Amino acid sequence: MKDFPLDNFHGFGLAAPLNAALAELGYRRPTPIQAQAIPALMKGRDLIGIAQTGTGKTAAFALPILHKLAADRRPAPKGGARVLVLAPTRELASQIAESFRDLSGALSLKIAVVFGGVPHGAQIRALGQGLDVLVATPGRLIDHLDARVAHLGAVEFLVLDEVDQMLDLGFIKPIRRIVRELPTRRQNLFFSATMPANIRALAGELLSDPIEVAVTPAAKTADRVEHSVVFVDATKKRDMLVELFNDATMSRVLVFTRTKRGADRVAKALDEAGVDATAIHGNKSQGQRERALGAFRGGKTRALVATDIAARGIDIDSVTHVVNFELPEVAEAYVHRIGRTARAGNGGRAISLCDHEERDLLRAIERLTRHNLPKIDRRGAAGPKPAPTEGRAAVRAPAQVVQRPHHSPHRDARSVGKPAPRPHAGQRQRFRPTRRVER
């Protein structure tokens, strides 16, 4: 599976300010849709992207467009824009504009959003000054077209985002009306989470010889897996991992770490605790990798500790559990990792050790998979606010176990100490950590 053909953004040849902005944002690796879409878009192709929010699709279309704007600087057209992005809702439109701003970094482009429910004045002024990027919901843009304060004759790039939702909201006529105002020579980007016949027909009408890129809906893979997240202090992760292996059903476990050295250290810690484990990563020779894989396949080692890159292309059936010793930087990698324990339509189990620093990564995973992952709190009793004694308290006090209901809104572990809600009906809890970390 070629989910991560590129390990970083440098291979795309993006303009320097964009690479600087990516570094600033902390985007290290392209997500699958970025890896697939950006090269084709840089070549000027039209594109159909079948992808949901959370896959990194905004950067997938914004980066190549921004690159082209940077390579061909010209004055922003008065009353119009060089790039038109249509989106179904004001929230999405605002988010897209925000992403364009973040990703454009030092290019200092003129970017504005136009949506309904707010006064027209500021939008008309922004249009009047001329824009590089205009992100709009179709209804309000039509108002501005009718009032002749918007002109779309200078549009070079058209992006239609979440087309299925736009059609659900009855925007088909406004879209057609808007497209009639555009120059015929333009690059078209068309994104939809689903591609039923009517949407494909619309794409056929608007696009010219598009390439098609689809990313597996994360939610589908995530549905097949029983997840749990264990909140744990970073310094306690190794003990926690060893404790997990008290569960005899964890017989063939893939443990993921972020770094090669981390993989070595974790494998060593497991070995020392009596759990047979080996690490595989890019610094290992081919022979070492093959021996490690052979031992794991043959059941001689219970744990294979790997980095994302090393685990690519490994084909091992019946992995009982995936343990994320560290959460991945890119949410898609979570789906890729857990896919290892849910092969060929089977279910599997995924346990993620999450420390305080990783909360944002966890939230990104929950957004992407559309799952509120069940959480167990195994940190010290001092709670998330860093109390000066937290480190010591964490060692002394018995850890509390808090099981959150599956459908609770995004929450962190602030309810430590409150009675644990009952698990959601039907939510089996195979992993029940004991109350103390065994030392």
- Angle, CA 57 vertex, CA 44 and CA 100 arms, to 5°: 80
Is residue 56 a contact point for ligand AMP (CB under 6 A)? Answer: yes
CA torsion sign for 188, 192, 195, 197 is: negative
CA torsion sign for 386, 388, 391, 396 is: negative
Is residue 57 a contact point for ligand AMP (CB under 6 A)? Answer: yes
Is residue 191 a contact point for ligand AMP (CB under 6 A)? Answer: no
Neighbours of 173 (CB within 10 A): 10
Q: What's CA 386's distance to the chain center, in Å? A: 28
Considering CB under 6 A, how many residues would be counted as binding ligand AMP?
A: 14
For the CB of residue 54, give the shortest distance to ligand AMP in the complex, in Å.
5
Is residue 188 a contact point for ligand AMP (CB under 6 A)? Answer: no
Considering only residues 55, 192, 228, 341, which one is a binding residue for ligand AMP as defined by CB under 6 A?
Answer: 55
Mask for 360-389, x = binds ligand AMP (CB under 6 A): ----x-------------------------
Is residue 27 a contact point for ligand AMP (CB under 6 A)? Answer: yes
Q: Which is nearer to ligand AMP, 267 or 330 (CB)?
A: 330
For the CB of residue 35, give the shortest distance to ligand AMP in the complex, in Å.
9
Is residue 192 a contact point for ligand AMP (CB under 6 A)? Answer: no
Considering only residues 4, 14, 30, 355, which one is a binding residue for ligand AMP as defined by CB under 6 A?
Answer: 30
Burial of 285 from C-beta contacts in 10 A (0-12 / 13-18 / 19+): exposed
For the CB of residue 34, give the shortest distance to ligand AMP in the complex, in Å.
6
Q: Which is nearer to ligand AMP, 30 or 380 (CB)?
A: 30
Considering only residues 53, 89, 216, 221, which one is a binding residue for ligand AMP as defined by CB under 6 A?
Answer: 53
Mask for 235-264, x = binds ligand AMP (CB under 6 A): ------------------------------
For the CB of residue 368, give the shortest distance to ligand AMP in the complex, in Å.
7
Token pair listed for 98: 């925000």
Q: Which is nearer to ligand AMP, 98 or 143 (CB)?
A: 98
| Residue that has been written with the tokens 């027909």 in this structure | 201
177 — phi, psi (to 5°)? -60, -45
Considering only residues 4, 18, 21, 31, which one is a binding residue for ligand AMP as defined by CB under 6 A?
Answer: 31
Is residue 59 a contact point for ligand AMP (CB under 6 A)? Answer: yes
CA torsion sign for 339, 343, 347, 348 is: negative
Angle between helices 260-272 and 237-244 (to 10 degrees): 50
**Residue 399 Rama label (left phi>0; alpha psi -120 to 50; beta):** beta
Mask for 400-419, x = binds ligand AMP (CB under 6 A): --------------------
Let me know: does 334 contact 369? Beta carbons within 8 Å: yes
Q: Which is nearer to ligand AMP, 91 or 438 (CB)?
A: 91
Q: Which is nearer to ligand AMP, 8 or 434 (CB)?
A: 8
For the CB of residue 22, give the shortest distance to ligand AMP in the complex, in Å.
8
Q: Which is nearer to ligand AMP, 45 or 57 (CB)?
A: 57
Considering only residues 330, 342, 382, 416, which one is a binding residue for ligand AMP as defined by CB under 6 A?
Answer: 330
Q: Where on the chain is the footprint of ligand AMP (CB under 6 A)? A: 27, 29-31, 34, 53-59, 330, 364
